[in-house]
Amino acid sequence: MNLEKLLYDAYGYTEFRPGQKQVIEQVLSGRDVLALLPTGMGKSLCYQLPGKVLPGAIVIVSPLLSLMQDQVAQLKKMGEKSVVAINSFMKAEDREKVWNTLSHYKFIFVAPEMLVQPFVLDKLKALGISLLVADEAHCISQWGFDFRPDYLRIAEVLPKLGNPQTLALTATATDKVTHEIKQYLKLSNPFIYAHPMDRQNISYDIRKFDNDIDKLEAFLEMVAEYGGPGIIYAGTRRKSQELAGKLLALGIRTAFYHGGMEQQDRIFVQQQFANKELEWVCATNAFGMGVHIPDIRHVIHFQLPSSIEGYVQEVGRAGRDNLPSLATLLYAAGDERLVESLIMDELPERHEIELIYQRTEQAKQLVDQGMIRETAYRIISYWRERLPLEGTLNQIEQLKKEKQRQAASVRGLVHSSGCIRHYLSVSFDQENPNVPPNCCSFHGIDHRLFKARQNHLKAPSQGGWKERLEVLLPI
């Protein structure tokens, strides 16, 4: 098969990006595939093009609604009409319409929580699934253990779908995460393509301060003079709102974004940012996946990320157009304490685990009464089905140790006395990368490249919220 001709006929491209052809060849040969392609390298083509050849439907398990909707919109822009995202945000009548016409769709996007539902499985099985795609597959390791254990159930539903071929896609994964993806997806002798994760057009800057006041002052000065569009990552929802308020007070077009907002509000912020109505978005790590904006010039971490993997994922939002972009991490003495406290808060407490084991039948009521957190309930329920009490306690303890190891890696990044790019590559078990001009703060950065603030932004869209939502969420 002439893949270059198929690529041109289907999408008008004359050549593949690095890694795409190798992955697509293996998918079309029938092998399970695990592909590690950096952000902006066109991972979605690795299932879109095979969809032109494979006979059955392609199911894409996608972690976030915003990511799902963006992928659907991208496919429709490329002329693909047989695509749909099935999610909880759809109206009941729209969802019913999709179920009744499911055989008309080639590309079907679902969240892992929806995929495991018996009704959904029955509908998908009746179609005949050629390929199951685990998009952002690092989430199987990152989130499956933490607070979305339905990621770990994906492999359990494969036999119910007829054991379709599996393609796992991610931008970043250490050897450990790669092993866990293979293990929890039960990939059979997979072809593994790992592209170097280094992005040569991104300059890495780490700035240290003695206290929070100095850090905040430097942050405000930096954002006021640097060019957007840019993303500012904060460790908490409250901090994202606080930073956005301070920038707005300076007359800088900014909005905050986090998982506690209403879905419509999050979508509107994303749309405003994509339309250049905002210069900056102050966000938690809930913002990022599904944001395909090529000219993000600057990513700032106001607080430490919880892992090197998360840091590289977030930094990878910048410079998808391959033009110079800046990643700045701001550190004040004592910032580690926030990361460590957040890590511990994410995982179930011992008393929550024991309560669910003791009162299994009333577990959901304990959540309603506020005695057990919802995320803790989901995690414990998953492991309770598989392990005795001591086994689950040990599992959570191991997770805590892994989180502490990840936090230690971030501390090592901040306090490294050498090349930041080299540190990141070693963290991902990859070879030492080339040192480009303006590599990092260790080698020196010419910050004049990034100090061209754009003041001419688009006026806000005039359409009503219903019209704007219809554009963002096509059925």
The pLDDT averaged over each successive group of 10 residues in the chain (475 residues) is 91 90 96 88 89 94 79 83 85 88 93 89 91 89 70 87 93 84 90 90 96 96 89 94 96 92 86 92 80 88 91 90 94 87 81 90 84 86 90 91 89 93 90 90 92 54 47 42
If you ran DSSP here, which 8-state letter would residue 297 be given? -
In order, the DSSP letters of 169-219 are EES---HHHHHHHHHHTT-SS-EEEE-----TTEEEEEEEESSHHHHHHHH
- pTM for the structure as a whole: 0.82
| Predicted local distance difference test score (pLDDT) of residue 453 | 60
| Predicted local distance difference test score (pLDDT) of residue 124 | 92
How far apart are the C-alpha atoms of 318 and 294, rounded to whole Å?
A: 7
Contact in structure between 474 and 72 (CB atoms under 8 Å): yes
Contact in structure between 205 and 327 (CB atoms under 8 Å): yes
Cα-based distances in Å from 320 to 60, 90, 227, 426, 470:
23, 31, 16, 23, 27
How far apart are the C-alpha atoms of 214 and 156, rounded to whole Å?
A: 51
* Burial readout 270-285 (b: 16 or more C-beta within 10 A, e: otherwise): bbbbeebbbbbbbbbb
* Ordered strands of the 325-332 beta sheet: 202-209, 325-332, 298-301, 230-233, 280-283, 254-257
| Predicted local distance difference test score (pLDDT) of residue 471 | 41
How far apart are the C-alpha atoms of 353 and 293, rounded to whole Å?
A: 42
| Predicted local distance difference test score (pLDDT) of residue 366 | 85
How far apart are the C-alpha atoms of 281 and 248, rounded to whole Å?
A: 11
Contact in structure between 94 and 77 (CB atoms under 8 Å): no
CATH 3.40.50.300 intervals, the chain: 3-194, 202-337+410-472
**Which one is the CATH code of 3-194: 2.70.98.10, 3.40.50.720, 3.90.1150.10, 3.40.50.300?**
3.40.50.300
Cα-based distances in Å from 417 to 29, 93, 246, 411, 440:
46, 59, 33, 12, 12
| Predicted local distance difference test score (pLDDT) of residue 424 | 94
Beta pairing, strands 83-86 & 191-194: unpaired
Cα 25 to its chain centre, rounded Å, is 26
| Predicted local distance difference test score (pLDDT) of residue 344 | 73
Cα 322 to its chain centre, rounded Å, is 20
| Predicted local distance difference test score (pLDDT) of residue 152 | 83
How far apart are the C-alpha atoms of 309 and 142, rounded to whole Å?
A: 9
Cis peptide before 305 (omega within 30 of 0): no
**197-323-36 Cα angle (round to 5):** 20
Q: Which CATH number does 202-337+410-472 carry?
A: 3.40.50.300
3-state secondary structure of 332: strand
pLDDT digits (tens, 9 = 90+) for 245-272: 999 999 999 999 998 888 788 888 988 9
| Predicted local distance difference test score (pLDDT) of residue 247 | 96
